[in-house]
Structure 1
Amino acid sequence: MQILVWGGSFFLLAVMGEPIARETGWGSHWVYGALSLGLMTSALLAPLSSRLVSRHGGRVQLAGSGMIVAAGLAIMAASQTLPVFMLAWVVIGVGMAAGLYEALFATLGALYAERAGRAITGITLISGFATTLTWPAVAWLIEQVGWRYTCIGYAILLVLATPLYLKVLPQVRRLEVRAVPAPGDSSSLDRRLYLPLIWIFALGAIIMTAVSVQLVVVLQGLGHSLASAIALAALLGPSQVSSRILLMLAGKRHPIWTALISVVLIAVGLFLVACAPGATAVGLVLFGLGNGLRAIVRGLLPLALMPPAQYVAMMGKMSRPSLIGQAITPLACGYLQQHFGAMGVLSALCVLALISLILVLSVLPFVRHSASV
């Protein structure tokens, strides 16, 4: 279900955007900007999503997310005007808030508490194949029946697969969760940890979104042909999955070390792409390894630092800055690409990666002390 929902929302326009723009005549910036609208909708609803998980366990909500995304795809298939197309992405954004990683992690935290780590790692491992599986299938369907019927077919598949959540997720008792911990509460996450974590997650999400949207264009700007750029970009998927497999084999360790490894790999990878053209492939592999760990860190690090009940309530609140950053990223990258070229985009990403590394290093001693690593 995670593969299907990710493929039908966040990753969909990567392969469907150009056919939509070509058929409708709408500007590409409007078509791809619809994803920003969906992400902003998801950001605004993220705290509400976590509160609903805390009250009802998340089982029905996750199942409903597929239905909501399916409804958005159906509206998109029927859209003849740009406002209706944008409305479709508002609906898809609601589904993203209800059913992507933040809601899933909160649900698993409610179900399994400290034992949720293994489930989170396993699910993010398999979900790493989302683009590998959905992009070729969606592209093939567009060639066969067009993008509108592809949306309808994808929506039907989501509806048919929705009972999977109801089948595999058990009922969970209602959790007594405070949306905002009281000042001085010993169970609350220390502000010295909370704010840096917010920025670490937000910067990681921004970098990931920028690379997802701009990588092929940036590589072409560095002198690679389209075929070469696509081949190099294809290194990311296997690298992300490989890092998650290695993490599962490495055994149990505190997630702060995984976070440190992740930001180091991302920073080194981006610097190699920017400064060592002959090592672009190596840089992308390192970036992919680091980014693969990032999704796991986002679920496991807060779980290691706060009680499960508080974790459920805080996931939505902590995800909002990341989602807002992701919504703004395509527009910011487009501006940098237009005015400063590929190196402008890469330079900005390298700076963000360095800031993220500094933030992780700054909280490492405090996390080690408070969590007795």
Structure 2
Amino acid sequence: MAIVGSSVRLTMLLGVTQTLAWASSYYLPAILATPMAAELGMKRHWVFAAFSLSLLITAACGPWVGQRIDRFGGRKMLSLSSLTLAAGLVLLGLAQGATGLVLGWAIMGAGMAMGLYDAAFATLTRVFGRDARRAITGVTLMAGFASTLGWPMTAWLNDVFGWREACLIWAAVQLLVCLPLHRCLPNEEERQAVSSAPPEDAEAGESATARRWTMAGLAYVFAAGWFVSTAMAAHLPGLLQETGISLATAVAAAALVGPAQVGARFAEFALMRQAHPLVAARVATCLHPLGAALLVALGMPAAGFAILHGAGNGLLTIAAGTLPLTLFGARGYGARQGWLIAPARVAQALSPWLFGMMLSAWGAGALWLTSGLLLAALATLMMIRTRSAAVRP
């Protein structure tokens, strides 16, 4: 099958493995932190501290992972991610104390660096070059259901078998489902040639310094977006309760974030694919601040805020993969993506703790912090010129 003709096949394949990878790693603590802490005799926040360590390891490993995918393609790296995540899950399932817990999450951090969105995006770019945008969007569209699948499945496994068995079953999923699918990825030779020609903006006189500032600006945008996304994932029901609604209503409203993410990604896939990714990124950074203003100042229902936040988060996830590709081209995409997303991983690691303190001190007023971060991101995106998009394939 020709490489271009395999776009749908690869999108489906990586959509499945990304959904399972996110479900069996990033989304585990929300369900398993409490039973883990109870059985291991520690405070729940120490489980999240170990998870934060894993995100810092993910950030540190990201550039190296991207470089390897740039050189050799994604089949070996993504296959290794399945093995590494499985090993980490087994260690978590066998942990008898803090040492085993930390070691398990540390290995999980390396596995997440090798196997989550950044590695998948770099793999698609390695195969399709600049034509990877549609496939990237398709993968995020499918994997948007990771929490929808992962949280109920993990909760059911924990209720029926226990948290240790839940970890071991997810490890088996990595070995029996994800690993064989990753071995079906294209060989190193199966790729679209990636030109070393510079972007037209460079030919038009834009300096290397200006391009570095664009990189720094994007790094801030993604760090702000990931900080807000993780803060909301950790605290959204409690935050919504600060507006005076019941826990049941807050949980029901928070459950709309996932469908809103998927809906926004579908809209981008169907309606905005011909537009510059800057358009989607700018819209994405507006939606959370808009929702916060309507919620706090005008008393909009909590469900409305959850939908606006989820839609913005869904669009920004796509932009994180497609915007650097459009601005800088496909050559060196993996390594560049690793450096761009590294600050976002650090922000993710710190976000639950920092926003939790702000929420305790300010209540729903903490939304002005997250809104301010994203409005600054919008201002940064407004300073990026769309003509930088004219990258030759």
TM range (shorter): over 0.9
Provide the residue aligned with 1:190 in structure 2: 211
Q: In the alignment, which of 320, 325, 329 is matched to residue 303 of structure 1? A: 325
For residues 310-351 of structure 1, the C-alpha deviation after alignment (integer angstroms, 9 at most, x for no partner) is 22220111111111111111221222233x142243221121
Matched, 1:252 2:270: no
Distance of 1:86 and 1:282 partners within structure 2: 38
Provide the residue aligned with 1:290 in structure 2: 312
Amino acid at match of 1:299: G
Provide the residue aligned with 1:217 in structure 2: 238
Matched, 1:47 2:78: no
Provide the residue aligned with 2:357 in structure 1: 335
Q: Per-residue deviation at 1:151? A: 0.5
Q: Per-residue deviation at 1:149? A: 0.7
Provide the residue aligned with 2:387 in structure 1: 369
Q: In the alignment, which of 144, 150, 165 is matched to residue 149 of structure 1? A: 165
Provide the residue aligned with 2:13 in structure 1: none
Provide the residue aligned with 2:124 in structure 1: 108
For residues 233-284 of structure 1, the C-alpha deviation after alignment (integer angstroms, 9 at most, x for no partner) is 0111111101111111114111011111111122212322333333322122
Distance of 1:204 and 1:212 partners within structure 2: 12
Distance of 2:138 and 2:317 partners within structure 1: 11
Provide the residue aligned with 2:78 in structure 1: 62
Distance of 1:205 and 1:76 partners within structure 2: 25
Provide the residue aligned with 1:181 in structure 2: none
Amino acid at match of 1:359: T
1:308–1:369: structure 2 CA closer, same or farther, 3 Å change rule? closer
Matched, 1:243 2:264: yes
Q: Is the Cα contact below 8 Å between 1:54 and 1:176 reproduced in 2?
A: no
Q: In the alignment, which of 352, 368, 373 is matched to residue 373 of structure 2? A: 352
Distance of 2:63 and 2:35 partners within structure 1: 34
For residues 148-173 of structure 1, the C-alpha deviation after alignment (integer angstroms, 9 at most, x for no partner) is 01111110111101110111444346
Matched, 1:266 2:282: no
SS at match of 2:183: helix
Among the aligned pairs, what percent are the same residue? 36
Provide the residue aligned with 2:12 in structure 1: none
Provide the residue aligned with 1:317 in structure 2: 339
Matched, 1:166 2:202: no
Q: Is the Cα contact below 8 Å between 1:255 and 1:304 reproduced in 2?
A: yes
Distance of 1:146 and 1:310 partners within structure 2: 44
For residues 18-61 of structure 1, the C-alpha deviation after alignment (integer angstroms, 9 at most, x for no partner) is 12122222111101112111100001111111111122111110
**TM-score normalised to structure 1 length:** 0.92
Matched, 1:231 2:252: yes
Match runs of 1:5-154 below 5 Å: 5-154=21-170
SS at match of 2:184: helix
Distance of 2:260 and 2:244 partners within structure 1: 23
Q: Is the Cα contact below 8 Å between 1:110 and 1:172 reproduced in 2?
A: no
Q: Is the Cα contact below 8 Å between 1:177 and 1:310 reproduced in 2?
A: no
Distance of 2:36 and 2:365 partners within structure 1: 29
1:173–1:187: structure 2 CA closer, same or farther, 3 Å change rule? farther
Structure 1 stretch displaced more, 349-358 or 147-156: 349-358
1:311–1:80: structure 2 CA closer, same or farther, 3 Å change rule? same
Unaligned runs of 5+ in 1: 179-183
For residues 69-97 of structure 1, the C-alpha deviation after alignment (integer angstroms, 9 at most, x for no partner) is 11111001111111210111000000011
1:172–1:33: structure 2 CA closer, same or farther, 3 Å change rule? farther
Amino acid at match of 1:110: R
1:42–1:187: structure 2 CA closer, same or farther, 3 Å change rule? farther
Distance of 1:337 and 1:82 partners within structure 2: 28
Q: Is the Cα contact below 8 Å between 2:283 and 2:312 reproduced in 1?
A: yes
1:68–1:293: structure 2 CA closer, same or farther, 3 Å change rule? same
Distance of 1:187 and 1:108 partners within structure 2: 29
Q: Per-residue deviation at 1:11? A: 1.0
Q: Is the Cα contact below 8 Å between 2:285 and 2:378 reproduced in 1?
A: yes
Distance of 1:345 and 1:156 partners within structure 2: 41
**TM-score normalised to structure 2 length:** 0.88
Distance of 2:69 and 2:31 partners within structure 1: 32
SS at match of 1:80: coil
Distance of 1:217 and 1:227 partners within structure 2: 11
Structure 1 stretch displaced more, 326-335 or 117-126: 326-335
Structure 1 stretch displaced more, 92-101 or 245-254: 245-254
1:33–1:172: structure 2 CA closer, same or farther, 3 Å change rule? farther
Q: Per-residue deviation at 1:369? A: 3.2
